[in-house]
A and B are shown apart, each in its own frame.
Chain A
């Protein structure tokens, strides 16, 4: 709350219905402040990147290379290791210290290759799977030392690949934990079923997405084919290059400041309209004849359905139509039931509460939809203005104001489902005393209301037909828009801080995390940049993937030589510093973490891209 003082305009909003428009100094100050904020944000770089079908291979290679270099391993063993440890290179480094090399490898099913003894028996051997005697060159021995005939191996691989177990095909020997060498698999399978071998390769490639906590498929429908990789905190919201925005943690639409659980409950609630159903069950009774729900509209407990059937409201039983003050013909039943009245009361209150929040949530979502049309209208207005005789040539402030409006509308609309759960009984019944709850609710609602009124004002100014105004009037609107944009941004930021620090952080029983507020809108994922020069190295990597028995040799086969080396070193050593980028433990008090790319464009300096 103390930060309110920093913001000269918001304190005024509380008093009057207009913010400071006559104090030029204050405006300039807040504009300057805004500029500073922007500079501060630009110092952070994008934390998410898009992995397309084309760059998937390159993305994998980065991690594979780190592991191959560290352990001097062949690529296939590095992959087995990475698949087992969910492509978490840092974790592998950590576990190496804790467990030691041997255990690290054996748990992942990587055989200790150094101990391999080559059998050189020239006599025919019996395969213990098909019980046939086979000549020695038709037998393949795995790194774990078990050998079987090639036909049996091939069958085994095909069954496992078709079973969707490509990423961990184990040796055929009973109780052997070793994962089969992918090159042996590829060789044997492709000799007989090339299409299955292709599928196997695709499964291995996609493992980088599916067995990886830091990578997720973009949830677009129809699917754009992309996946998003993030660095740092998984509680964030990203925008794929296909345009869809989503919450990285739960893959549903971006919903902060709601937590993922709140959002899940809310969408479910809105879908099945369970409150309505509740109300119907409590306030109506099914007609004993036509079974339609009947609501009592006053009068005595003899109710007549429109179908003509009369029944007793108290017990629901069918009756005759005649009645006196004290009895219904052909019927008598119990007295007034108190718990019934209580239930009705409760259901009605719950429904009203839900309706309150839902209406406001919906109103802002609808406004957002309508305001999306505003973008085109405003473009039109700008081009008219630009062509007329005027001193004002720069209209970026309109566009900026508009994007601020969209951004804050979103925040505002999602803040209602948040409040519904935060101050309701469903999730946090025993977390707060009624007094605490009231206090916190007031705190939150004050902020929400301030934000709301300023957002509406911003919307109003943006909808003016400024193209027909005089220069002075336009200047005035510009001032309003710029100032309001800053106020709204600040209020959004404060609301997120309030939610994180004052509301969610003190929770004892549950942990709710929300994506941080990004002043410039959701982070657009950048194209994955491969640090060494692309074309040549990509093809050479592809050939090395096809060329099955080529062993990667760190001294000869270095791709992109120096630049690549620098890159790897950077990543190996830079791993510990990646925490600095603002995201760490699950539960934390975030003060000012807003790292993000710009809303409309993502222009990053080359050296920043290099670091990703």
Chain B
């Protein structure tokens, strides 16, 4: 079993300055399992990801922190080192360059840095990487569009909950439905109406 006390300390430590760092970690879907977490990072300014909030699924292996955490984007993102299909990340510190002295926070901050500085020569998503190298303006436009379409929803999640509750749905149901469709308001509404 992994080091529970370290993870608890990490969570407290990380969330203490989340306003400044733009990085926070919570238990996944409000559960109680310390090995399944959800990280949040804000898109770095003056990048196509600015204004977006990106959710990251974090699974801690039993050997954590001596084995690297498993991280994957939940929010869809258009980036050469992140799979546009499933959110898999290509980052060295999550693989062979992981060090036990690194933390979840430092890993998330590295992901933020990766958003600012893609490495198209070591791509996870070949299509995106090709576009980044050959048609940079198209890449920027697509990345920005994806940020608008998928990463902004989670910012105003309270706003959406409020609107849907006003329509007469119970708050708990609204929250879980929004969660299940990754915060897409229209999909959630459809689902709520059909249920």
Contacts and interface: CB of A to CB of B under 8 A. Distances in A.
A and B co-occur in one complex: yes
Interface of A: 128-132, 148, 152, 155-156, 158-159, 172-176
B31 interface: no
A174 B66 contact: no
B1 to A, nearest CB: 12
Contact of A159 (B10, B63, B93, B101): B63
A174 B3 contact: no
Nearest to B99: A174
22 contacts: A129-B6, A129-B65, A129-B101, A130-B3, A130-B5, A131-B6, A131-B9, A131-B10, A148-B100, A156-B66, A158-B66, A159-B67, A172-B99, A172-B100, A172-B101, A173-B99, A174-B93, A174-B102, A174-B106, A175-B97, A175-B99, A176-B99
A173 B6 contact: no
Contacts of A130: 3, 5-6
Interface in B45-96: 63, 65-67, 93
A156 B68 CA distance: 12
Contact of A173 (B5, B67, B93, B101): B101
A159 B3 contact: no
Contacts of A158: 66
Contacts of B65: 129
- Which of A129, A132, A152 has the most chain B CB atoms inside 10 A of its CB? A129
A366 to B, nearest CB: 52
Nearest to B93: A174
A48 B189 CA distance: 77
A170 to B, nearest CB: 8
Contacts of B99: 172-176
Interface residues of B, number: 16
Nearest to A148: B101
Nearest to B7: A131
A192 to B, nearest CB: 14
Contacts of B66: 152, 155-156, 158-159
B98 to A, nearest CB: 9
A172 B97 CA distance: 10
Interface string B1-26: 00101100110000000000000000
A176 B65 CA distance: 17
A152 B10 CA distance: 16
B33 to A, nearest CB: 21
- Which of B6, B10, B99, B102 has the most chain A CB atoms inside 10 A of its CB? B99
Contacts of A132: 5
A283 to B, nearest CB: 42
B66 to A, nearest CB: 4
Nearest to A162: B63
Contacts of B10: 131
Nearest to A174: B99
Contacts of B6: 129-131
A129 B100 contact: yes
Nearest to A129: B100
Nearest to B65: A129
Given A129-B101, A172-B100, A174-B97, 11 more contacts: A130-B6, A131-B5, A131-B6, A131-B10, A148-B100, A148-B101, A155-B100, A159-B63, A159-B67, A174-B102, A175-B97
B160 to A, nearest CB: 37
